[in-house]
Amino acid sequence: MNMKSKTEFFQLPVETPAGRFVAGYSERGLASLTFPDATLRPESMTQRIPAVPQQVEAWHRTTSQALARALAGKPVEELPPLDLSSGTDFQQRVWNVLRKISCGETRSYTEVAREIGRPEAVRAVGGACGANPIPLFVPCHRVLAANQKLGGFSGGLNWKRMLLGREGITISE
């Protein structure tokens, strides 16, 4: 019954000074990025990766460079195509707004809610941020609570603090 019993998906590690991230690629591009330590099953690392398509390898090189810059708090110059198709319509709208926040800038949950035309869905925006499959490149860490307060971060508040700090953003908390 499965038209496509197995959609190709590749998980490749990215070594950084901050640890080993894992990037996941669908046939459409980068689909996920996980922080070091987050659910790292040894199998997923050891799993034989029969043949990584050249396309994916090329994306991965771009990802690695971009990640290095992002961690350093510098603007990312080039990104691989991002596959955000796993999200709902609402989430994708939120994520698209986040992608327009450049390095060193921030938004509040309220502002993001307004930008997607759902000013009352403030908390839902928080939910969408938490569901973001590609942190750093979809910069959910640049969304702060009202009055420049830190707000939350599912990947761990330490990361949020660190990333904002490297981008020269000061939190009022």
Partner DNA sequence: GTCACCTTAGAAG
Partner DNA sequence: CTTCTAAGGTGAC
**Which residues contribute to the site for DNA (CB under 7 A)?**
88-91, 108-110, 118, 120-132, 135, 140, 143, 145-146, 149, 151-155
* Residue 140 annotated to the active site: yes
CB of 127 to DNA, least distance (A): 3
Q: Output the DSSP codes for 13-25.
A: EEEETTEEEEEEE
Of 34 and 132, the one with the shorter C-beta distance to DNA is 132
Sequence-distant (6+) residues with CB within 8 A of 116 are 90, 93, 94, 97, 125
Residue 151: both structure tokens together? 């707000």
CB of 6 to DNA, least distance (A): 20
Of 140 and 164, the one with the shorter C-beta distance to DNA is 140
CA distance 103 to 75: 5
Residue 129: both structure tokens together? 């941020």
Alpha carbon of 127 to those of 33, 79, 101, 132, 164: distances in Å?
Answer: 18, 25, 18, 9, 20
Of 10 and 95, the one with the shorter C-beta distance to DNA is 95
CB of 153 to DNA, least distance (A): 5
| Catalytic-labelled residue, pool 79, 82, 101, 140 | 140
Query: Which residues carry out catalysis?
Result: 140
